[in-house]
């Protein structure tokens, strides 16, 4: 089907998906560019294709003009293809787990997702008060790896309780009293990364079974959350 007007009902509905409120109402989100569309198709979550050319994917497709792409895109240079995708259903928790406590920066979350896949972490649990995992900056920063990991957004307290019942030890980050990451490499550890500015919340710290630290030069107060998470996951992966 071809659409030429930016005021078309379908276009207006797609444009609303740039806002979290409407993503949550529809349980759908947008991905931009050929690479992300291909990854979403492999995942089997594509609901509709939007492109400036005819496509032959086995899902409903719409051919639109550049004005419509500009209206829908969050990028400086709009892509020639986009997809409306269904929210990704969470899977069972297994293997290595990372928990994120009040993480706010979408670029950090996207980078953490990418590193988690690289270092064989199977699940990331994101606190309810963290950045939206369907924020377009998260998706782009993940380089499509958001489709290759089990993501769960939930209350951390209940998820930590669930993890402990499954035999996991919860390991937080603490620059003062933490132990070396080399002491925490077993599969049944779940690591917690805190907020960019404030670290772990007090209530989260109280639920931890131990703490880890990353030795750094004393002139540096702390590491970026995504960098710290990536180092921890790298070390945990190299048992």
Delineate the domains of the chain, giving CATH numbers in brackets.
9-86 (3.30.1330.30), 96-237 (3.40.1280.10)
88 has a pLDDT exceeding 70: yes
Quick one: pLDDT at residue 225? Answer: 92
- The total of other beta-carbon atoms located within 10 Å of residue 3's CB is 16
The rounded distance, in Å, linking the Cα atoms of 57 and 168 is 42
What does the CA dihedral 220, 132, 167, 209 come to, rounded to 10 degrees?
30
Alpha-carbon dihedral sign for residues 185, 172, 134, 95 = positive
Q: Three-state DSSP class for 26?
A: helix
CA 47, CA 144: separation in Å to the nearest integer? 17
Predicted local distance difference test score (pLDDT) of residue 229: 94
Average pLDDT over residues 17-23: 97
Question: Is the Cα torsion angle 73, 77, 78, 83 positive or negative in sign?
Answer: negative
Output the CA torsion sign for 118, 136, 3, 60: positive
Averaged pLDDT score across all residues of the chain: 93
Tell me what pLDDT residue 214 has: 84
Cα gap 224→205, rounded to integer Å: 19
Between residues 224 and 111, the one the model is more confident about:
111
What pLDDT sits at residue 199? Answer: 85
- Residue 17: phi, psi to the nearest 5? -70, -5
Q: Per-residue pLDDT tens for 123-174? A: 999 999 999 999 999 999 999 999 999 999 999 999 999 999 999 999 998 7
* Region at 100 (left for phi over 0; alpha for psi -120 to 50; beta for the rest): beta
**Cα distance from N-terminal residue to C-terminal residue, the chain:** 53
Task: For residue 182, name the pLDDT band (cuts at 50, 70, 90).
Answer: confident
């Amino acid at each position: 089907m071809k659409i030429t007007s930016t005021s078309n009902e379908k276009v207006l509905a797609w444009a609303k998906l740039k806002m979290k409120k409407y993503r949550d109402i529809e349980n759908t989100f947008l991905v931009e560019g050929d690479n992300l569309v291909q990854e979403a198709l492999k995942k089997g979550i594509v609901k509709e294709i939007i492109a400036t050319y005819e496509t032959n994917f086995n899902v409903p497709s719409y051919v639109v003009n550049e004005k419509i792409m500009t209206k829908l895109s969050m990028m400086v240079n709009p892509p020639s293809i986009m997809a409306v995708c269904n929210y990704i259903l969470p899977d069972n928790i297994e293997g290595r787990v990372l928990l994120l406590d009040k993480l706010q920066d979408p670029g950090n979350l996207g980078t953490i997702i990418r590193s988690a896949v690289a270092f064989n972490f199977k699940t990331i649990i994101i606190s309810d008060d963290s950045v939206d995992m369907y924020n377009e900056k998260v998706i782009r920063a993940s380089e499509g790896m958001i489709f290759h990991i089990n993501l769960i957004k939930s209350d951390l307290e209940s998820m930590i309780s669930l993890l402990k019942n499954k035999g996991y030890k919860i390991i937080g980050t603490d620059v003062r009293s933490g132990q070396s990451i080399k002491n925490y490499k077993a599969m049944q550890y779940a690591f917690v990364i805190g907020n960019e500015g404030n670290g772990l919340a007090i209530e989260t710290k109280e639920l931890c079974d131990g703490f880890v630290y990353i030795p750094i030069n004393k002139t540096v107060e702390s590491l970026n959350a995504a960098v710290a998470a990536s180092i921890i996951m790298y070390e945990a992966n190299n048992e």
